[in-house]
Amino acid sequence: MEKEQFAELYQSFLEDRIGPAELEQFRELSGQQPYEQWLDVLLDQTVTLQFTEQDANEIDLSRMRSHLLENVVGIKPKRTPVKYYYAAAASLLVLLAAAFYIWLTPGKTEQTAGNEPSPVQQILPAKDIATLTLADGTTLLLDSAGLSKLKNSANLPVTTDADGSLVYHAGKQAGNSIAMNTLSTPRGGQFRITLPDGSRLWLNAASSVTFPTSFNAQNRNIKLTGEAYLEVSSNQRQPFSVELHNSSIDVLGTSFNVQAYADDKNITTTLLEGSIRMNSVVMRPGQQAILSNEATDKTPEVLNGADLQKVMAWKNGFFNFDNVPLKDVMKQVERWYDIDVIYEGAPPAVVFKGGMDRGVQLSGIIRFLQNFGITATMNGRKMIISKK
């Protein structure tokens, strides 16, 4: 295919005019040379046309292209464990033509020579930080010193992985006692842990998980608040269960996401692989169970065809704000940047499209809001929201 024909194919994809056969062709070509290089040029041209000069200078084009190929075009990614991909051409239209996605280079500031960065620019995104509370009440901040203390403890079978995450190793419990540990992330923090059975857990900001340092032979029980993504090791003879504040999830071996913040309206559980039972309802992959935090009836509403890309965005390093109202967006911002949001008058009735990299500084969020006619000003760690 000639360069001009590929450009026409790209434009059809951009404008959501592409048919199934052409879409498959576009997917296949976009991962090959010279089409891969041509796609970079086309993306660069689109960015130049659609983004402001300030934002265009800060776009991490390589990261933007990678996300496009993995999550929009549908080319299988090499890193993420999510195995569900959609060819949502309309998402690309929102991404580029409407210019609502701002792919800012993480850590880049806007200061000019001789000027100090403003307090807004100095508010950084969340980092890998957590607190571990041991069975005797001892609390360890999981910085380099705390991790070193853990590794040197004779009573805790814990190591750290190459990425700094905790790894608990299976071992026998002393006597008949059950030693419970709690891993907690603050607002502005996230962390990863491998449980004693080999199950892996990613903990979002302002969340916690309580677990035994060694599971018994009958079951594997943990307690969760906030949000987490879990990949549970399969063991039918040793059921895995997650206790939430007003419900529970029974697992055999699976991958799923749980959002159970106390200040959210609902508890939302999304199944990616395997099978789980939330209260009395058995779920299949791709389904999402929604249960009101205040429900007296513990039977969740189950929806088919969950937007798995959207659900897993946080774990994969992105905000996804598609069809999310302002107050729900700002809850994510509060947790991630450790700020408080205050509204002048009633919160603007805005429903968002798009999203951004979670590595962007708070100043990038403020410019994102400005695209929707929302003014955000900072007073210390308080963000004041008003309509323009």
User: Of 1.10.3720.10, 3.20.20.370, 3.40.50.1000, 2.60.120.1440, which CATH number belongs to 127-306?
Assistant: 2.60.120.1440
What type of residue is 79? R
CB 184, CB 131: distance < 8 Å = yes
Residue 77 preceded by cis peptide, ω within 30:
no
Where in the chain do CATH 2.60.120.1440 domains reside? 127-306
Where in the chain do CATH 3.55.50.30 domains reside? 317-387
55: left (phi over 0), alpha (psi -120 to 50) or beta: alpha
Q: What is the pLDDT of residue 15?
A: 61
Q: What is the pLDDT of residue 363?
A: 86
User: Of 3.30.870.10, 3.55.50.30, 1.10.10.10, 3.40.50.720, which CATH number belongs to 317-387?
Assistant: 3.55.50.30
Q: pLDDT digit string (tens) for 209-253? A: 999 999 988 899 999 999 999 999 988 888 999 999 888 999 977
The pTM of this model reads 0.73
What distance in Å separates the CA atoms of residue 363 and residue 111, rounded to the nearest whole number? 11
Q: Name the DSSP class of 384.
A: E
- Which stretch, 74-88, 90-104, 252-266, has highest mean pLDDT? 252-266
- Which of these, 341, 278, 285, lies nearest to 308 by C-alpha position? 285
User: SS3 for 149?
Assistant: helix
% of the chain with per-residue pLDDT over 70 = 75
CA 12 and chain centroid, separation: 30
Q: pLDDT digit string (tens) for 119-135? A: 565 788 888 999 999 88
